[in-house]
């Protein structure tokens, strides 16, 4: 096995069990490890620190599989890690309200750096985001069928981050029966169509499950504006919660067409729902110019800052939409606002929203802090795993 020797003093993160080794921390490589090959990481004195996967093209040069020198990285290792991760989600499929969809594997936070597996009813969608997982991809796909009662595994390895690892983009059926590209799921008692081949990420934003349920509770009798609606996750929950009207905005007309199919699938009425294809930045401005107002506004934008280097530029985008939304709220109205940018920490996000309120000239209070649902856990040694943050803000 090849060995990676760190520079003196660069072992601190690994001693805290953080699972990444950056290229800049490495003094030398003994051997000639291939893409995704298992390597041992040593401190500058040659003491064992961790065993992980080598990624020669990535800034994150090694992702750790284990901190135990006795762990062999083989089929048994993946069987054990996947088994634990999958078992931890069982209650979700059994408890009320029933779910037929959940994230089964959340990468680093489940001890499997670079692997995401989402379950949509009988279908598993796996996303391979690192060289190490790429090397074990066939084994992992086999195990996923064995360890669940799913009928098939589909691969959505088309995330841009694969390019940073030097990996080609790949999408398609990988194990089990071939099946339709649209799958029906149940989340909190609502049915949704999920397009596993062309939908965003693996097809659905499972991380918002509990926040959607919260919006359902807040929406009764309210006039609701759902910005960045995608397939209608928040909008339909608001409708199910008895909202008086819903306006849902997305730049993708395909997404909104799917959202309306989802509405029909649940037998929810069409009369008070307006699907509006457009750019949220422009739509909010035009609503301001028309003096429109709402009781409840949801802002769930895409990732403006994937890494901290884009944080400042992203902050302007977040501030802009939050400022405009706060101005559209009636007194006593609620803003449910999110950021899923890994590069924007929760405290910074709160400051952006505070700045937005200041510039909007409104007094507002935080009623609740929201986060990703618990099938997207955050390992304590991997704070980067906490990417989704949200606030419920009341205009007073
Ligand atoms: N709220 C959704 C997830 C939102 S994902 C849910 O609960 O499932 C972000 C969405 O924003 C995508 O559907 C994307 O098409 C849309 N989008 C991205 N930029 C946009 C823009 N400037 N204006 C409107 N929609 C945008």
State whether the Cα torsion 45-49-51-52 is positive or negative.
negative
Between the CA of 271 and the centroid of ligand 1 the distance, in Å, is 23
- 75-184 to CATH, choices 3.40.50.1970, 3.40.50.10600, 3.40.50.261, 3.30.750.80: 3.30.750.80
Query: What's the whole-model pTM score?
Result: 0.96
Which residues are bridge partners to 271 per DSSP? none
CATH 2.30.130.10 domain residues, the chain: 2-66
Cβ–Cβ under 8 Å, residues 332 and 395: yes
Calculate ∠ Cα 375-377-379, nearest 5°.
Answer: 155
Active-site option among 235, 296, 299, 340? 340
Cβ–Cβ under 8 Å, residues 112 and 105: yes
Thinking of the domain 2-66, which architecture would CATH place it in? Roll (2.30)
CATH 3.40.50.150 domain residues, the chain: 205-395
Q: What is the pLDDT of residue 209?
A: 97
Residues 6 or more apart whose CB falls under 8 angstroms from that of 343 comprise 305, 306, 307, 308, 309, 310, 311, 314
Closest to 266 measured CA to CA, from 187, 200, 324, 327: 187
Closest to 209 measured CA to CA, from 330, 98, 349, 301: 98
Tell me how far apart the alpha carbons of residues 370 and 318 are, in angstroms, rounded to a whole number.
17
Between the CA of 55 and the centroid of ligand 1 the distance, in Å, is 32
Q: What is the pLDDT of residue 55?
A: 97
CATH 3.20.20.70 fits 205-395, yes or no: no
**Mean pLDDT, the chain, as a whole number?**
97
Residues 6 or more apart whose CB falls under 8 angstroms from that of 351 comprise none
Pocket test for ligand 1, best of 227, 277, 302 (most atoms within 8 A of CB): 302
Tell me how far apart the alpha carbons of residues 55 and 190 are, in angstroms, rounded to a whole number.
41
Q: From first to last of its 396 residues, what are the pLDDT tens digits of the chain?
A: 999 999 999 999 999 999 999 999 999 999 999 999 999 999 999 999 999 999 999 999 999 999 999 999 999 999 999 999 999 999 888 887 779 999 999 999 999 999 999 999 999 999 999 999 999 999 999 999 999 999 999 999 999 999 888 999 999 999 999 999 999 999 999 999 999 999 999 999 999 999 999 999 999 999 999 999 999 999 999 999 999 999 999 999 999 999 999 999 999 999 999 999 999 999 999 999 999 999 999 999 999 987 778 888 899 999 999 999 999 999 999 999 999 999 999 999 999 999 999 999 999 999 999 999 999 999 999 999 999 999 999 999
158-198 per-position pLDDT tens digit: 999 998 889 999 999 999 999 999 999 999 999 999 999 99
Pocket test for ligand 1, best of 103, 214, 216, 250 (most atoms within 8 A of CB): 250
Between the CA of 232 and the centroid of ligand 1 the distance, in Å, is 10
**Number of C-alpha atoms within 13 angstroms, CB side, residue 242?**
4
For the chain, the first-to-last Cα distance in angstroms comes to 63
């Amino acid at each position: 096995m090849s060995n990676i020797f760190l520079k003196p003093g660069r072992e601190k993160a690994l001693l805290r069990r953080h699972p990444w080794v950056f290229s800049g921390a490495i003094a030398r490589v003994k051997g000639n490890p291939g893409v995704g090959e298992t390597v041992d990481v040593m401190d500058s004195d040659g003491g064992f620190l961790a065993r992980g996967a080598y990624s020669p093209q990535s800034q994150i040069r090694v992702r750790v599989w284990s901190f135990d020198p006795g762990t062999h990285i083989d089929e048994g290792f993946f069987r054990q890690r996947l088994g634990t991760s999958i078992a931890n989600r069982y209650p979700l499929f059994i408890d009320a309200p029933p779910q037929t969809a959940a994230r089964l594997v959340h990468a680093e936070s489940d001890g499997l750096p670079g692997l995401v597996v989402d379950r949509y009813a009988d279908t598993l969608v796996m996303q391979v985001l690192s060289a190490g997982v790429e090397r074990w991809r066939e084994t992992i796909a086999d195990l996923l069928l064995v360890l669940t009662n799913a009928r098939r595994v589909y691969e959505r390895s088309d995330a841009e981050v694969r390019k940073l690892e030097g990996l080609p983009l790949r999408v398609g059926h990988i194990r089990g029966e071939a099946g339709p590209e649209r799958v029906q799921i149940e989340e909190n008692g609502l049915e949704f169509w999920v397009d596993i081949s062309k939908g965003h990420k693996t097809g659905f934003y499972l991380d918002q499950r509990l926040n959607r349920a919260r919006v359902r509770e807040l929406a009764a009798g309210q006039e609701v504006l759902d910005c960045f609606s995608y397939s209608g996750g928040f909008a339909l929950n608001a409708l199910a919660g008895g909202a008086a009207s819903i306006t849902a905005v997305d730049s993708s007309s395909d997404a909104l067409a799917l959202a309306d199919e989802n509405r029909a699938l649940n037998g929810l009425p069409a009369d008070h729902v307006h699907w509006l294809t457009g750019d949220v930045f422009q739509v909010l401005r035009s609503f301001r110019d028309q003096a429109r107002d709402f009781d409840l506004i949801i802002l769930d934008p895409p990732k403006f800052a994937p890494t901290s280097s884009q944080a400042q530029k992203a902050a302007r985008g977040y501030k802009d939409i939050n400022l405009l939304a706060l101005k559209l709220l009636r007194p006593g109205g609620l803003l449910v606002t999110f950021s899923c940018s890994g590069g924007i920490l929760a405290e910074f996000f709160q400051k952006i929203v505070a700045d937005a309120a200041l510039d909007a000239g409104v007094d507002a209070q935080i009623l609740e802090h929201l986060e990703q649902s618990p099938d997207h856990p955050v390992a304590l040694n991997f704070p980067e795993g906490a990417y989704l943050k949200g606030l419920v803000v009341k205009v007073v």
